[in-house]
Structures are given as C-alpha cells and as structure tokens.
Amino acid sequence: MRVVTAAEMREIDRRATAEYGISGLVLMENAGFRVFECARRVLGELEGKLVVVLAGKGNNGGDALVAARHLVQHGAQVRVILDGDPAVVTGDAGVNLEIWRRLGQRLYLLQDRNGIQVLQLALMQADLVVDGLYGTGFKGGVRDRARRAVEAINEVGKPVIAVDIPSGVEADTGAVRGVAVRADHTVTFGLPKLGLVLEPGASYAGELHVVDISLPRALLEAPDGRYLLTAALVRNWLPARARDAHKGRFGHVLVVAGARGMLGAACLAAKAATRSGAGLVTLAVPRSLQETAAGFQAEIMTLGLPETGAGTLNRAAREQIEEYLGRVTVLALGPGLSTHPETAELVRELLPGVRIPCVLDADGLNAFGMKDRGTGAAAPEIEGGFPPGRPHAAPLVITPHPGEMARLLGSRVTDVQADRLGTAERAAGEWRCTLVLKGARTLVAAPGGPTYINPTGNPGMATGGSGDVLTGMIAGLMAQGLAPKQAAAAAAYLHGRAGDLAAAERGQAPLLAGDLLEKLPAAFKEVEAGGARV
C-alpha cells in the first residue's frame, strides 16, 4: 500500500478536482461520511449517545462537521466545539459549518472564556470523541487552548476517532512535539500518510482505517515512492514451488559467522536461512567451533575455518571462503564474528571481491568502524571506508540497527532516529545497496526506490539474536531468486509477524530469538494462505 506525504496527498486532491471534476465538497462529504461509519461501528446503536466533535478551521474541521451532521441525523446527540473564529472558516469547510447552523445545531467555541470548561464537562458525559482539530498540514507543537483541549481528550479516557490524522502528529514524519491526541481509531482518506506509519505517530493513531472517498485509482497508484508492507504484497513475492522441484532450485546459502562465545548468533542465522526456504545452508565458523555448530541442527552443513588464538576467524580463512563462494548462491556475513582486529581485516579484504549477493550484518558492519565526525572521512585504519568497492551487479544488503548506522555515518543515534526515513533513503542511494534500518517500523530502502515500511513486530523482539534471524531470512529468500529489496522487505515483514505470533502466545518480555524461529513456519503459512490481517 502506497504511503504519501502531505504535499503528495494535496496534489492528488488537486488533480481529482482539476482533471476529473470531483469537487472538494464531494470529497469532504465522502470523508466525513466515512468517519461517521467508523463512529457507528464503535458505538453500535447511536440513539441517545453523546458524541463530542472538535473541529478546526480547515478542511479537517469540515470533515468533522460532515460526520457530526450524519451522527445527528441518526439519533446521536452531538456537541461541536470549534477551535477558532467561525468568521474565518471558509471554502468547503465554511459550507458545512453553515449547514450545521441551518440545521439548528448549536456551535460551541473553544476560545470562549469558559470554552475549556464546556469541553471538559462534555467529555465527561461523552460516549465518543471525534478529533478534527488539525489535519495533515499541521507542523510544530499544539499550543494555548488547543493544547489544553488535547490534554483533556487524553485524560478523560473516552474512545477517540481521529479525522485523517491525530491532532499534534506531523503528517510527514510522525513527530510529536509536545502533545498529540491518542486516538483509538484513525480514519485516513485515500492513502495512509507517513506520520501514521512511522513512530511515534503510529502509536498515536490506534487502529488505522484507510478509506475510499472516490479519489480516482489512477491517482493513488505509483511505481515508486514509499509503501507500507502488507501480507498481500509479500505473498506476491514469495516463490511458488513446482511439484517436481528439488533442493538445487532454491539456492545455497553460505553463512560466515561466529566466534568463541558468540556461536549462537551464527547458528540462529543459519537456521533462519533454512526456515526461510533455502535449499541448502552451510555454516562456516572457526575450526574449533565446527563440531559444536554441527550439533545445532542436522539439516545445516558446516565448514571449519582457520582461526586466531582468540577463537575468531583469521585472515588465512579468506582463501577457503573465496573458494567456497563458487559453489553457493548467497553469502551472509557478520553475525557473531567479533570485532577482533584480524577478523575485521578479513571482512574488509573479503567483501570487495564477493561476486554473489551478500547480506552484511552485525560485526560485518562493525568491521568498517566509524567515520571521523569532524571530516566525514573513514577512520585511518580502514582504507576506503564504507561501502567497500564491489564487483559490478553484485547485490549488497546491509542490516544495521540505529547504533551501527550511526557508526557507519559518523553521526549519533539520536540523529539517525530523528530522521530514520531520510537517513535510510540517502544512505541506500549513496552506498548503492539495499539498506534495512532495524527498529520500530523497520525500513527497507533501495537506490531509486521504492522504500518499504514494515508494520509488524513488537518491543519483545528487542532481544539478542533477533537481528541474526533476520539476516538468515534475507539470505534464504535471496537464494530462492527474490530481488534484494524484495527479499529484505519480505523477511522484515515475516520476521515481525513471527514475533507478533510469539508475543501473543508467550508475552513480550520473555520473548527469545529462538521463539521467532519456532513461529516462522506459522508466519509463512499465514501469509501464503492469505490469513494475515496486516
């Protein structure tokens, strides 16, 4: 499902009117009616129910006024409280304000001397609140009486439906600079806005309803841009399996990973590759760990490599790895490798010559260290910095968490988190790779787009080994022929869905990376059968 900025949505609305003759009043009527329908589903019987509708001066307020009218027509009692001077409400919103008055309905003003007290009393008696204060054009912080109104809505604890976007959430970023309405439902029109699917805005939106208001389908579709991952989208990417298929058709993943004390990361990645459908998986580890690794899962082949005295891979392993790469389809490099200087040097020497698709994660990324914060140049010991030179058309997928991303950029985690989307898209373009920026609402960006936003997953997945599972999944899906950005996006979705299934059964706090592996078959089955809700 495509996700848009406020400006992109305004352009769609403009073209609907200019090119198709669909007036703003028609769009507003349809939008308000969709909000009314949501209210009716929440409340059930409307007769005698009290609904408090907060309306701003713009089109968002006009949508709320339409909803208020339909609620009254179906027997509800409605208190409309306007934020602002009625004299400045013009255009389509002004038309609906006049209709409200001609129906003989009272209008309360938030700016009146006792406006806040009127609102607080109405909220105490309300069965439902409709938030139409601010729309997608809002930026900055909610101030003055509007701020007090938002605080009152949040404090009263009544069900809230937000019109298009919760007031106080920025449509392009999801940022909340102070207070914002915490909605139980958000009815958004035509397409979801970025601020509704990025954190923290997504947490304020509640259940998101993307509704049709008769915008032409041709205006809503685009080949690039940003997309919210859905089960249907992922299902279309997953490869079908012919009845006469054999393991050779589904690729061979080589996982180069592990060190003394961190073998678990390597084993999790390898098992995830098998669980994601790879035909064959070989786990390459320091020689002293091979026997232990071989006992982890019978279906995984193992390869012992030269090691340092600390039980990590040494530079002599390069020749053996390069020879083995000629037999496999995809390389996964990094989980649990350690940051031992010789192992890091191995990674930096190996990666530039890899001519097959590669997933680079964890200590594979850490091998490229940190850029100098003052100059942006690579650290002296890392010739060329990141990304390393790569053979033409050899796809690279990197999967940094915010800390690793900050180290690669020579910036701070707070800078990365303040603009996750922009950071991921810029880096993917500059580094010419598929970039998976992990975290709440994991992002998958690729040069030239599109960018995918993942809605699955939960805080319980913030546990050691979770990222290693994701690395193995991406490699396993690429081995079966998925394009890097599709493999990364599908893996992110299924990884999060497995986490959600595990959390539903066991709770979030006790969640382990191994629980994700256990639930992967159910996540795949759910998506393939079309049963996933998201």
d(CA 504, CA 507): 6
* H helix count then E strand count, the chain: 21, 18
518 vs 246, higher pLDDT: 518
Domains detected in the chain: 2-222 (3.40.50.10260), 231-237+331-529 (3.40.1190.20)
pLDDT tens per residue, range 255-274: 999 999 999 999 999 999 99
pLDDT at residue number 383 = 46
Q: What's the rounded mean pLDDT across residues 298-310?
A: 96
380: its two tokens = 């002296």
pLDDT at residue number 377 = 45
pLDDT tens per residue, range 381-400: 444 457 777 776 689 999 99
Beta-carbon neighbour count of residue 191 at 10 Å?
21
CB 514 within 8 A of CB 468: no
Per-residue H/E/C for 345-401? HHHHHHHHHCCCCEEECCHHHHCCCCCCCCCCCCCCCCCCCCCCCCCCCCCEEECCC
Lowest mean pLDDT among 11-25, 233-247, 280-294: 233-247
- pLDDT tier at 372, thresholds 50, 70, 90: very low
Residue 174 DSSP SS3:
coil
d(CA 476, CA 275): 8
CB 445 within 8 A of CB 451: yes
Average pLDDT, the chain: 94
DSSP secondary structure, 8-46, as one string? HHHHHHHHHHHHH---HHHHHHHHHHHHHHHHHHHHS--
232 vs 378, higher pLDDT: 232
pLDDT at residue number 533 = 60
pLDDT at residue number 532 = 62
- Residues 6 or more apart from 379 whose CB is under 8 A from it? 369, 370, 371, 372, 385
Lowest mean pLDDT among 239-248, 345-354, 431-440: 239-248
d(CA 488, CA 483): 8
pLDDT at residue number 248 = 83
d(CA 498, CA 516): 5
pLDDT at residue number 327 = 96
pLDDT at residue number 531 = 65
Lowest mean pLDDT among 236-245, 498-507, 522-531: 236-245
pLDDT tens per residue, range 94-150: 999 999 999 999 999 999 999 999 999 999 999 999 999 999 999 999 999 999 999
CB 105 within 8 A of CB 55: no
pLDDT at residue number 284 = 98
Bridge partners of residue 304, in order along the sequence: 285
- pLDDT tier at 221, thresholds 50, 70, 90: confident
190: its two tokens = 């035509």
- CA 177, 178, 182, 187 torsion-angle sign: negative
- Tokens 């990674």, residue? 347
> Is the pLDDT reported for residue 247 higher than 90?
no
- Residues 6 or more apart from 211 whose CB is under 8 A from it? 31, 34, 187, 188, 189, 190
223 vs 324, higher pLDDT: 324
> Is the pLDDT reported for residue 58 higher than 90?
yes
pLDDT at residue number 187 = 98
Put simply, whether the predicted model's pTM sits higher than 0.75 gets the answer: yes
pLDDT tens per residue, range 474-493: 999 999 999 999 999 999 99
Bridge partners of residue 286, in order along the sequence: 305
pLDDT at residue number 381 = 41
Residue 113 DSSP SS3:
coil
- CA 284, 287, 293, 294 torsion-angle sign: positive
Bridge partners of residue 77, in order along the sequence: 50
pLDDT tens per residue, range 62-73: 999 999 999 999
d(CA 126, CA 139): 29
Q: Max CA-CA distance within the chain?
A: 86
> Is the pLDDT reported for residue 246 higher than 90?
no
Beta-carbon neighbour count of residue 202 at 10 Å?
21
Measuring CA to CA, which residue among 319, 301, 308, 311 is closest to residue 254? 301
Gyration radius of the chain over CA positions:
27
Residue 473 DSSP SS3:
helix
Percent of the chain scored above 70 by pLDDT? 96
CB 200 within 8 A of CB 165: no
392 vs 417, higher pLDDT: 417
